[in-house]
Amino acid sequence: MFFFNVSEAQSGPDSAKQDASKINPSDLILEHIANGHEFEFFTFHGRVASIPLPVILYSPQRGWASFSASHFQHGAAAYDGYRVLTEEYINENHLDVKNYRAGLVVAVDADGKIDPSVKVYDFSIGRNVVQMLITAILLIWVMGSVAKKYKTGVGVKSAPTGVQGVIEPIVVFLRDEVGKVNLGDRYERYMPFLLTVFFFILINALVGLIPGTANVVGNIAFTGALGILAFIVIMISTGRHYWLHIVNPPVPLGVKPIMIPVEILGIFTKPFALIIRLFANMISGHIIILSFIILIFVFGAMNTALGWGTSPFFILLAVFIYLIELLVAFIQAYIFANLTAVFVGLAFEGGHEEGHGHEHATEAAII
């Protein structure tokens, strides 16, 4: 069970509606899917159980500062001239919501008032970075040991054993269905990138489903970085024919003025769609699960019996969505790798190589 901080009811003319829901669902959801300076697990009788992470700040006026996030005391105190904002602080001091949001670190002067003239750059090791590091270490360790096992001959001369039994079908599937089909003869150069992207997205998504961990894949910066990497890989693999087809598409003369801007836009929309697709899929899954759990507390605030009564129903729904999210994690990782391979294949010769790839696949099937 998750315990949440219940925020103060706002004073207003329609107090009846406000009293019914002292819990602010959208703030709670945003707090859980955003990056943060500590791993927060639950709140018990007003005390928060959390793992604080290092806060690393740089200000052109003040220089570097690094300390543990526990000094912030979950937004209640300022430390070393900095303060992390919370929803209550923003509401109490009526700060401009466009510039100040929960989780932002701002500089405060000696009196404790926010100093807007001091720019703060937040380089903290937050939840997302810690989880990405854990995933990276896990992947390097598991894949490294599996690769060493293959080097000594286990799984090559004899049947695969242990973790090889899990990794080998996935890698063979990606090599055959994603690499060879889309990239033809040149698939070997791209397999490391495709496999890395697939496993990194998959393991981060699966770890992110565990309660208490961070929402890494549902972060636009994470998917944006992967999309930019895919864009770079696609651009590296382009050939002369690709650019000739962009500026001179093989379409009738009347359609050419329309097709050329479309083709040029298409260079950028393909990685952009990759980014948005992965981001929106993962974040929508997290939001749905969080909404069901928060609904229990919303009902509980209205009527304690109602909260307890509806909770089994909502928890079952949340478990059902969890199972769907497991499937979505696999599918989205596969789709990202597959579409990157498709776009790289398109970039090779501008589409003329498509027949070659399929011929190889059907030849292999017949043999």
Partner 1 sequence: MTLMTILLDVAQPGYGAIGAGFAAIGAGIGIGLVGKGAVEGIARQPEASNDIRANMILAAALVEGVALLAAVAGLLAVFK
- Specify the residue, 149 or 180, whose C-beta has the smaller distance to partner 1: 180
| CA dist., res. 78 & res. 83, Å (int) | 5
| 289 near partner 1 (CB under 8 A) | no
Q: Which of residues 18, 26, 248, 304 is near partner 1 by CB under 8 A?
A: 26
| 18 near partner 1 (CB under 8 A) | no
Q: How far is CA 49 from CA 2, 45, 67, in A?
A: 11, 11, 19
- Which span (126-134, 188-196, 304-312, 335-343) binds partner 1, by CB under 8 A? 335-343
Q: Which of residues 43, 52, 335, 360 is near partner 1 by CB under 8 A?
A: 335
Q: How far is the CB of 342 from partner 1 (least distance, A)?
A: 8
- Which span (62-70, 153-161, 254-262, 326-334) binds partner 1, by CB under 8 A? 326-334
What is the phi/psi pair of residue 63, to 5°?
Answer: 90, -165
| CA dist., res. 336 & res. 229, Å (int) | 12
| CA proximity to 26, closest of 108, 117, 102 | 102
- Which span (186-194, 298-306, 309-317, 333-341) binds partner 1, by CB under 8 A? 333-341
What x/- string results for residues 103 through 142 when contact with partner 1 is judged by CB under 8 A? ----------------------------------------
| 66 near partner 1 (CB under 8 A) | no
Q: How far is the CB of 364 from partner 1 (least distance, A)?
A: 13
Q: How far is the CB of 39 from partner 1 (least distance, A)?
A: 24
Structure tokens at 281: 């899929």
- Which span (85-93, 242-250, 300-308, 336-344) binds partner 1, by CB under 8 A? 336-344
Q: Which of residues 30, 170, 246, 306 is near partner 1 by CB under 8 A?
A: 30
| 288 near partner 1 (CB under 8 A) | no
- Which span (117-125, 257-265, 296-304, 329-337) binds partner 1, by CB under 8 A? 329-337
| 291 near partner 1 (CB under 8 A) | no
Structure tokens at 247: 């500026």
- Specify the residue, 279 or 297, whose C-beta has the smaller distance to partner 1: 279
Half-sphere exposure (Cβ direction) of 68: Cα atoms closer than 13 Å:
7
Task: Map the footprint of partner 1 across residues 172-211, applying CB under 8 A.
Answer: 177
Distance in Å from the first CA to the final CA of the chain? 56
Interface with partner 1: number of residues (CB under 8 A): 18
| 338 near partner 1 (CB under 8 A) | yes
What x/- string results for residues 256 through 285 when contact with partner 1 is judged by CB under 8 A? -----------------xx-xx-xxx--x-
Q: Which of residues 69, 183, 339, 344 is near partner 1 by CB under 8 A?
A: 339
| CA proximity to 189, closest of 126, 239, 144, 236 | 236
Give residues in contact with partner 1 (CB under 8 A): 26, 30, 177, 273-274, 276-277, 279-281, 284, 331-332, 334-335, 338-339, 342
